[in-house]
A and B are shown apart, each in its own frame.
Chain A
Amino acid sequence: MKSLGSIRREFAPWNDPQAKAYISFENVTKRFGDFTAVNNLSLSIYEKEFFALLGASGCGKSTLLRMLAGFDEPTTGRILLDGQDMRGIPPYRRPVNMMFQSYALFPHMTVEANIGFGLKQEGMAKAEIEQRVAEMLKLVKLEQFAKRKPHQLSGGQRQRVALARSVAKRPKVLLLDEPLGALDKKLREETQFELMDLQQSLGLTFVVVTHDQEEAMTMADRIAILDKGEVMQVATPAEVYEAPISRFVAGFVGNVNMFEGTVAARDADSARITGASGAEIVVGNAGEAAAGNAVAFAIRPEKIKVSSRRPEGVANAMEGEVYDLAYLGDMTVYHVRLDDGQVVKASALNSSRASDDALSWNDRAWISFPPDAGVVLTR
């Protein structure tokens, strides 16, 4: 497989067999009455990693975070932090800090007192606390708000106070529960990069829970995609996007077109897949799919080319009709209804300001893609 390495930095301890996991979940199950929130889950997170737990609500991601913080204990299995079994250790003795989704700022304390709260608990000297608090306020650019109460701050400022408070103790691991959920879109995008910079400059391990795939893709070194208390895939954002291992992951992250079919023939790497209507797709990276398997061919919209005439020399081309199109400025999204009835999404970058060959509603159109533009999914 071609390397799909991290965009941000050269950091991949998960590929190093010598590297020791910093946090490990070992066969962790958590039940609340009849409901199984986390089901026999194992996961390794490395030191200084920015790790995202991504899933829809109720998938168990928040439960994982709460177990790491010590608010819930696993029903079975164990959690190791830096080699130490965390069972029975109460939240106030764990070297992790959490940034709460609601921020949970103490309303009766000033910004300063909120940030210094954990340090005071530690028994740190007063002068030292003052110095650390000042440092934290500078880090989140809230120096002039030190004496304010939380209710006198905006949502974005509260978020930064919560962040400063949770990193003030220099925890080994920072847990973030939907850290940007309460912010508006523009502020959220800015803050994503601030969080990444903070993580790099402090050299902390971040575990973030989010339901927003874009957020996870932007910030994380690796993403664990969870569904019904189980891990579906753990991989870098690029791998999750380009090489999903199941229909669920492919559908959960980003837009995708799925062609269901059976493997008609299989060579070393390539295979031919026949769809229900008889259409044939040639793929160059069939993976584990064997002849006769029922598979899905998943391909992202931006990897499909749309043209008004049949393109020359391509492996896969299908004819249909432009059923819908949306002009988004930077790109145009086409919905092409193929002659067998399937609607395929394709997006094209608008790299020039005008095109002679512009397609319109109800035009006949061809979609085409090379053999290795998509992935074959057996699960």
Chain B
Amino acid sequence: MSNVALSADEAAGSGSASRSILSRARSALLGRLVIIVPYLWLLIFFLVPFIIVFKISLSQTAIAMPPYVPALSLDDGIGGLFAQFGEMSFDNYVWLTEDALYFNAYISSIVIAGISTLLTLLVGYPIAYGMARAPSTLRPTLLMLVILPFWTSFLIRVYAWIGILKPEGLLNQFLQGIGVIDDPLLIMNTNTAIYIGIVYSYLPFMILPLYASLEKMDYSLIEAAQDLGCPPISAFWKITFPLSLPGVIAGCMLVFIPAVGEFVIPDLLGGSQTLMIGKTLWNEFFNNRDWPVSSAVAVILLLLLIVPIMIFQAAQARAQEQAR
């Protein structure tokens, strides 16, 4: 009797167990499906274009439509396709190492992006700090003001800086008007103009992650530091800054990565002597119509940026670990 009851119990138990396994499998499948959608998105809109660019970078330039060979057409059947693969080579990459122009452009881009990022951080940190310490009723408005420039076209905003920075522009007129300078400052078409342009354009990308990390910081930590004998400035370096480091890293990466490949700002504000890889790429592509070389430039640029992107990812992961 008791045996029967026991086995019935067991049966019920195993039944519910198998049911739960089944439902768990189903929810796992559903979970995977949810992940599959963004992966597919990335695959189609990032990986496929990248493969096309990579393929072009292995081709040779030609006066044709499209301007490179092989075009990987199926006109000659599968055998012809394989023959076309044989025509591809890494010659364009070798070319990049032979002409100092490219190396200098990469280095100069990284230096300009690095200096701009540092300047953006110096300008953005006090703004983000002020926003995070502002009365909570005022914060949405301040946040709105930071995002507001995005409502106007990026190109138009950079053009507006030409009007401000050129020798007879607003800035020089103002400074001459109040008698600070006699001759106009030559800012336009220099690296300084590029720094100004990048700092201005990318400031929101610096402020937002900084604000996010500063805003959630408990102010009583600063009070505790002061209570333990730490003057305010020292408390900032010992408590506030280290705790905002995830925001600093995120902001710097969000500025640095696009700034390295920036084309519009150096083209409009920078001088002819300014060497940046985005500009070089544009010239190869549109002026020289050398698609294979410009593709090779783009692939190398991507490889260079993978390092900071990975630093960024690691920092994000660490921040999440800390938050838990």
Interface, chain A (partner B; CB < 8 A): 69-71, 90-93, 96-98, 100, 102, 104-108, 117-118, 121-122, 151, 165-166, 169
Contact = CB atoms under 8 A, between A and B. Distances in A.
B322 interface: yes
Contacts of A108: 242-243, 322
A98 B225 contact: no
Nearest to A117: B228
Interface residues of B, number: 18
B227 A92 contact: yes
A71 B235 CA distance: 14
Contact of A165 (B228, B234, B242): B228
29 contacts: A69-B223, A70-B227, A90-B231, A91-B226, A91-B227, A92-B227, A92-B231, A97-B227, A100-B223, A102-B220, A104-B220, A104-B221, A104-B223, A104-B224, A106-B221, A106-B225, A106-B239, A107-B221, A107-B243, A108-B242, A117-B225, A117-B228, A118-B228, A121-B228, A121-B229, A151-B322, A165-B228, A169-B228, A169-B229
Contacts of B183: none
Contacts of A70: 226-227
B223 A92 contact: no
Contacts of A90: 226, 231
B324 interface: yes
List 9 tightest A-B contacts by C-beta distance, closest first.
A118-B228, A121-B229, A104-B224, A104-B220, A91-B226, A92-B226, A98-B227, A92-B229, A108-B242
A151 to B, nearest CB: 7
B230 interface: yes
Chain B, interface SS category: helix
B99 interface: no
A98 B229 CA distance: 11
Interface of B: 218, 220-221, 223-231, 234, 239, 242-243, 322, 324
Which of B220, B227, B243 has most chain A Cβ within 10 Å? B227
Nearest to A71: B223
Nearest to A97: B227
B214 to A, nearest CB: 14
A149 to B, nearest CB: 9
Contacts of B229: 92-93, 118, 121-122, 169
Contacts of B234: 121
A98 B221 CA distance: 12
A93 B218 CA distance: 22
Chain A, interface SS category: mixed
A217 B231 CA distance: 37
Contacts of B223: 69, 71, 91, 98, 100, 104
A70 B229 CA distance: 12
Contacts of A165: 228
A221 to B, nearest CB: 24
A237 B224 CA distance: 31
A108 B239 CA distance: 8
A121 B230 contact: yes
B322 A100 contact: no
Nearest to A100: B220
Nearest to B243: A108
Contacts of A97: 227-228
A260 B170 CA distance: 80
Contacts of B243: 107-108
Contacts of A118: 228-229
Nearest to A123: B229
